[in-house]
């Protein structure tokens, strides 16, 4: 992901889906953000100090992936449903040659070529350390659709 994409992404709240899909698709953040908005991504509403709404449903994420030419499946031999942490997945289950979308209950991240792309770890346009104790609920392998 380009530095410019990191800087733009850092300006948004609740942007985990567009951020993860940018890493997966290899497109610009602005282009992917527009596709995500088309499929239901919304910025949160701030009422006083309380943030409400915002984000994108998993079904909407799949529709955006489909539009960008990708498909998903559950990877063989990995079952989570909240039983493993992000660190455990990254060190024990991940195949560095594959691309993954990780559902962490109300939050998603991507792993592309062994590198984690997590909007929650984005601060000041720079990826900081990963949230190693975050529970991973569902793991999807992402791959280009067959023609």
Which domains occur in the chain, in start order?
Answer: 3-144 (3.90.70)
Confidence label for 21 from pLDDT (cuts 50, 70 and 90): very high
pLDDT for 110: 94
Residue 18 near residue 29, CB atoms below 8 Å: yes
Distance (Å, whole) CA 110 – CA 102: 6
Residue 82 near residue 136, CB atoms below 8 Å: yes
- Residue range 55-79: average pLDDT? 89
pLDDT for 87: 86
Most confident of 66-75, 82-91, 112-121: 66-75
Taking all residues of the chain, what is their mean pLDDT, rounded to a whole number? 83
- Write down the residue that tokens 């915002």 correspond to: 54
Distance (Å, whole) CA 81 – CA 139: 9
> Which string of DSSP letters, residue by residue, matches 92-128?
II--TTSEEEEE-SS-EEEEETTEEE-GGGEETTEE-
Confidence label for 31 from pLDDT (cuts 50, 70 and 90): very high
pTM of the model: 0.85
């Amino acid at each position: 992901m380009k530095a410019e994409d990191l800087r733009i992404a850092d300006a948004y709240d609740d942007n985990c889906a567009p951020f993860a899909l940018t890493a997966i698709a290899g497109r610009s953040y602005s282009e992917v953000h527009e596709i995500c908005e088309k499929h239901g991504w919304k910025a949160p509403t701030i009422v006083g100090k309380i943030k409400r709404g915002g984000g994108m449903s998993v079904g909407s994420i799949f529709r955006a992936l489909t539009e960008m030419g990708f498909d998903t499946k559950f990877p063989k031999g990995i079952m989570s449903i909240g039983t493993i942490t992000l660190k455990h997945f990254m060190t024990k289950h991940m195949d560095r040659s594959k691309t993954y979308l990780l559902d962490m209950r109300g939050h998603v991240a991507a792993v592309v070529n062994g590198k984690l792309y997590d909007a929650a770890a984005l601060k000041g346009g720079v990826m900081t350390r990963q949230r190693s104790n975050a529970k991973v609920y569902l793991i999807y392998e992402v791959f280009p659709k067959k023609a």
